[in-house]
């Protein structure tokens, strides 16, 4: 996918037409999962299967190996961040989200995850900033709007 296609997808996330936003969202997720081809995607799917069967340590090992072998594979970092978040290992999840954003600054999933991590750590101002960054990419993401309100309420 070339840069012009990427720009079209990013602009589509900002359209009023919900169908266009959904298509762009799906296309971006596919781009991220398949960044390293079918083999990279399959390893992400294998890690998710391990998570789904409760084998968290094995999933972490697989994802850690993947980010070690392919440090520019943003979705591998993102999947490990999700795993850490589910395990309530928020500082580690935060670090992995930051790595994703370094690689893919418009990764709305990682921007949202960053906000969730900060909120879980009670760092509500940072959470609000992260959710706002996610809204720059996906202005119609109601979940981020709602989370900004929830975090704002925590500050008062």
pLDDT of 24-81, one tens digit each? 999 999 999 999 999 999 999 999 999 999 999 999 999 999 999 999 999 999 999 9
Asked whether residue 77 falls in the same domain as residue 58, the answer is: yes
How many domains is the chain built from? 3
Q: So what's the pLDDT on residue 1? A: 53
Range of the domain at 22: 1-33
Q: What pLDDT band is residue 4 in, cutting at 50, 70 and 90? A: confident
Q: Looking at residue 100, which CATH number applies to its domain?
A: 1.25.40.10
Assessment of whether the complete model's pTM goes beyond 0.75? yes
Taking all residues of the chain, what is their mean pLDDT, rounded to a whole number?
A: 96
Buried b (16+ CB within 10 A) or exposed e, 30-66: ebbbebbeeebbebbeebbebbeeeeeeebbebbeeb
């Amino acid at each position: 996918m070339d840069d012009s296609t990427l720009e079209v997808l990013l602009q589509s996330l900002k359209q009023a037409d919900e169908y266009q936003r959904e298509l762009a969202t799906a296309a971006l997720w596919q781009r991220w999962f398949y960044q390293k081809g079918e083999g990279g995607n399959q390893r992400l799917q294998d890690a998710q299967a391990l998570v789904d069967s409760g084998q968290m340590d094995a999933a972490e090992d697989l994802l850690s190996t993947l980010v070690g072998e392919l440090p520019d594979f943003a979705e591998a970092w993102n999947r490990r961040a999700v795993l850490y978040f589910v395990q309530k290992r928020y500082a580690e999840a935060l670090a992995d989200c930051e790595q994703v954003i370094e690689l893919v600054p418009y990764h709305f999933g990682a921007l949202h995850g960053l906000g969730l991590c900060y909120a879980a750590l009670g760092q509500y101002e940072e959470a609000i900033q992260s959710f706002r960054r996610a809204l720059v990419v996906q202005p119609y993401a109601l979940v981020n709007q709602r989370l900004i309100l929830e975090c704002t309420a925590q500050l008062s």
